Structure 1
């Protein structure tokens, strides 16, 4: 390819602009406090199929904010079933004794088979704040009022304020109809509750060689744009609510350009969630 020629797999102009650096988004995240004084934090729920990168995204946010590799949310690269079994809350340390004003919740992944993976009914209960931290999901029995782990009177802090669907960028077309149905069921419930929703497509470096070479090209990739289009039609989310990220994990070296992509997605999650918190 001659000098000055663009790669045929990349668009001449990005279909979404990213900040030049991460400073503005980093400052926004560090300074964020819920406008609703009745809330102590903003709760972000991640959901999606097994192996999508939900736990890895939590770790990646932790990395970007700490400025070092972190791995508090357990992950496993070898299992074909959900490594996350419990409803788990993650706070990210800010300084010595303080935490950021947003928290993540990780769930067991959706699976194709009926008696495996998290039940969509349990994820709906999570949205409403009825599931206590540490509850172990059962693929065969949904949580009921009176069960251990069921919270009968959730507060605003217990409820989910923004829902984020997570899916690998190279698996959009391979997602089973059964898993899509479960994700749509959760999405409809969240919509009925007024909870804002976004999505992240992970593993962009595995899906697109140009992005693996330079993460700054993530929103110039023709292939990744096609996957966003497909995912938008699959789940019904607007394209401007779908973000592309490369999680830390395969490459244990901090990268400022990678932080830009992660923090840009995180800022939008916080913005959407705070709008909901301010008008629940």
Structure 2
């Protein structure tokens, strides 16, 4: 072995010894793998405390992150079969979702779940603007906004059901460390606007199987892989969303049948989305009651 070969050998050995192991000694977050029926029943049993109240979930994020795919994945889990109501595109590098769209999830022949998803045009230098997302959060945007010109899509008198109750940022795990600065700034600005409106914020990290081969081999490694945890921590630092509000998922993409592990991650994220939104609804209702009580006392 030549001197240069020996030098390269020892450098490789030294690098391997100093690198963090790919797997943690134990999962840093617990999840009920294989116990999907309990979480599924939790979602099916959810009812807002106020009759007629609808929990509205707004998804936003970079172009191609998988907002529409997440909606389809949620519907697939709840329907018990593959479902593709929200159209997705596998070829366009531009934004495929062109407008503001509401997705209701059917529960029975004539019934729907008491929560809805809203999809909006993706974030890009030429995509949706921060003020558009702010108006949507305030309930002042009607379905179809951004698609049909010359039609009034501004809602002058939004109801409690029109307003957004939880904001979810959808991010491609492959782009966390190379995200365009302008998009990153938009996410921060949208977060600030949501905070002013007291709307809780979460993040969904998609395409985790593409970002980590260890997860592609076994999805149950998701909370054991150092690399993914570091990506989540980096995103948390970049935009300010706490780690306990960030959930990694794998959307249904190439599968034709449901997978128990994929369902587990989607249900885990969905359950927390519902809880965050429901807490906001209850807090907002209590604030309204307090304001009404104070007005009555002053009369």
Report the TM-score when normalising by structure 2. 0.85
Inter-partner Cα distance in structure 1 for 2:147 and 2:130: 11
How do residues 105-116 of structure 1 correspond to structure 2 at under 5 angstroms? 105-111=118-124, 113=125, 116=126
Aligned-residue RMSD, C-alpha: 1.7
Task: Quote the residue 1:86 is aligned against.
Answer: 99
Would you identify which runs of 4 or more consecutive aligned residues in structure 1 move more than 3 Å?
Answer: none
Unaligned runs of 5+ in 1: 1-6
Which of the numbers 86, 99, 113 marks the counterpart of 1:73?
Answer: 86
Tell me the CA shift for residue 137 of structure 1: 5.5
Which has the higher mean CA deviation after the structures are superposed, 250-259 or 195-204? Answer: 250-259
Which of the numbers 200, 211, 217 marks the counterpart of 2:215?
Answer: 211
1:251-276 residue CA offsets vs partner (Å, 9 max, x unmatched): 23310111010000000000000000
Tell me the CA shift for residue 133 of structure 1: 1.1
Task: Quote the residue 1:200 is aligned against.
Answer: 204
2:265 equivalent to 1:251: no
Larger Rg computed on CA atoms: 2
Inter-partner Cα distance in structure 1 for 2:100 and 2:88: 14
Report the TM-score when normalising by structure 1. 0.91
- Contact 1:36-1:277 at 8 Å conserved across structures: no
Task: Quote the residue 1:4 is aligned against.
Answer: none
Unaligned runs of 5+ in 2: 1-19, 285-299
- Contact 1:118-1:137 at 8 Å conserved across structures: no
Task: Quote the residue 1:33 is aligned against.
Answer: 47
How do residues 54-203 of structure 1 correspond to structure 2 at under 5 angstroms? 54-111=67-124, 113=125, 116-136=126-146, 148-203=152-207
Inter-partner Cα distance in structure 2 for 1:226 and 1:91: 35
Which of the numbers 44, 65, 75 marks the counterpart of 2:57?
Answer: 44
- Contact 1:48-1:165 at 8 Å conserved across structures: yes
Inter-partner Cα distance in structure 2 for 1:167 and 1:210: 20
- Contact 1:190-1:196 at 8 Å conserved across structures: yes
Considering fraction of residues, name the structure with more helix.
2
Tell me the CA shift for residue 92 of structure 1: 0.9
Which of the numbers 224, 232, 237 marks the counterpart of 1:220?
Answer: 224
Inter-partner Cα distance in structure 2 for 1:234 and 1:58: 25
Inter-partner Cα distance in structure 1 for 2:261 and 2:108: 23
Tell me the CA shift for residue 35 of structure 1: 1.5
Which has the higher mean CA deviation after the structures are superposed, 92-101 or 46-55? Answer: 92-101
Equivalences, count: 264
Task: Quote the residue 1:3 is aligned against.
Answer: none
Tell me, what secondary structure is at the counterpart of 1:159? coil
1:25-71 residue CA offsets vs partner (Å, 9 max, x unmatched): 1011001111233x531000000010010000000001111111111
Tell me the CA shift for residue 91 of structure 1: 0.7
